[in-house]
Amino acid sequence: AEDEITLFEKEMKEFWTELKSIYSTEQINQTLALRDSCKESIRALSEKWSIKLKEGDQMIDKIKEYRDGILQQSQHISENQEHLTEIKSNLNQEEQQKQDLTDSIQELKEELMKKKEIISSKNKAAKEKVERLCKSKVLFEERLGLEIRRIHNEQLQFIFRHIDHKDPDKPYMFTLAINEQGDYEVTSCTPPLDCIAEFQLKVRETNNFSAFVANIRKAFAALSYK
């Protein structure tokens, strides 16, 4: 714009020089007035367009700034959406883990209840066997010279006397328990008998406890004659 104005002024000077040689003073003054008016119009127009250009540059800067802000917000929204998606996925995983843990706890509770029922049933059966043995105490004592004692851990101790004719008070004994399977189990035997395992197996098969006790007494008696 400045180059154009300079060129225009130069042309106006040349025009003025040529005009002086042709026109009268009055005409020259009119032309000068016209020239000044044109120059003022050009100056005003130049200032106006300069302001417009500045405003345009400012508007462009604002548009760029607004665009950059929108891009940043879009990026921030995208990052938040990804973060929310990740949080939702983690929550779903935690919810599934919670459900799996709840199911496992329920299964363990049910299994524990079943085991308690089994243990309770076995304990009940064991106590019933011990009670039946205690009820048979008088019979065994009268017929076999046997003393039965209840000792620790629900075990019964069977003590035979009057076996050794040289020493009638000498005790022959074994201790009996009910194991976890509900079977009879000899936990100790004094003096030891080689056939005790065979007797134990047989009583488990036949459940004939009287024969079991009688056979052990016979084995003790046979041992006393050796």
Look at the chain and report how many structural domains it folds into: 2
Structural domain includes residue 2: no
Q: What tokens were used for 23?
A: 């026109």
> Does residue 34 lie in a domain region?
no
What's residue 14's pLDDT? 82
Indicate whether 210 and 152 sit together in one domain: yes
Residue 27's pLDDT band (cuts 50, 70, 90):
low
| Residue 178 counted as domain residue | yes
Nearest CA-CA partner of 143 in 218, 214, 219: 214
* pLDDT above 70: percentage of residues in the chain: 84
Instruction: Examine residue 74 and state whether it is found in any structural domain, yes or no.
Output: no
- Do residues 216 and 151 share a domain? yes
The string of pLDDT tens digits covering residues 35-68 is: 788 778 778 877 888 888 888 788 888 888 888 8
Q: Residue 19: which residues within 8 A CB-CB, separation 6 or more?
A: 27, 28, 31
Indicate whether 185 and 164 sit together in one domain.
yes
Q: What is the 3-state secondary structure (H, E, C) of 123-139?
A: HHHHHHHHHHHHHCHHH
Q: Which residues contact 212 (CB under 8 A, 6 or more apart)?
A: 184, 199, 200, 202, 203
Q: Measured between alpha carbons, how far is 222 from 29 in angstroms, rounded to an integer?
A: 166
pTM, two decimals, is 0.42
Distance of alpha carbon 83 from the chain centroid: 21
DSSP lists the bridge partners of residue 176 as 156, 186
Distance CA(48)–CA(46), nearest Å, equals: 5
- Give residue for tokens 């008070």: 169
Same domain, 173 and 104: no
216 and 175, same domain (yes or no):
yes
pLDDT at 1 over 60: no
Is there a domain that residue 19 lies in?
A: no
166 & 194 share domain: yes
User: Is 46 a domain residue?
Assistant: no
| In contact, 174 and 158? CB cutoff 8 Å | yes
Tell me: the pLDDT tens digits for 113-162?
887 777 677 667 767 766 766 666 666 666 667 898 999 888 999 999 98
Based on the domain organization, do 150 and 221 belong to the same domain? Answer: yes
Domain span at 195: 145-225
Last residue of a domain, one of 143, 169, 204: 143
Q: Is residue 36 part of a domain?
A: no
End position of a domain, from candidates 87, 113, 143 = 143
> Distance of alpha carbon 125 from its chain centroid, rounded?
41
Specify whether 138 is located in the same domain as 158: no
Whether 76 is covered by a domain: the verdict is no
188 shares a domain with 125: no
Is residue 153 domain-shared with residue 219, that is, in the same domain? yes
pLDDT of residue 6: 80
At 128 the pLDDT is 73
Residues 150 and 216 in one domain: yes
Q: Examine the fold and report which residue of 117, 143, 169 is the final residue of a domain before the chain moves on.
A: 143
Residues 153 and 210 grouped into a single domain: yes
Q: What are the tens digits of pLDDT across the range 68-81?
A: 888 888 888 888 88
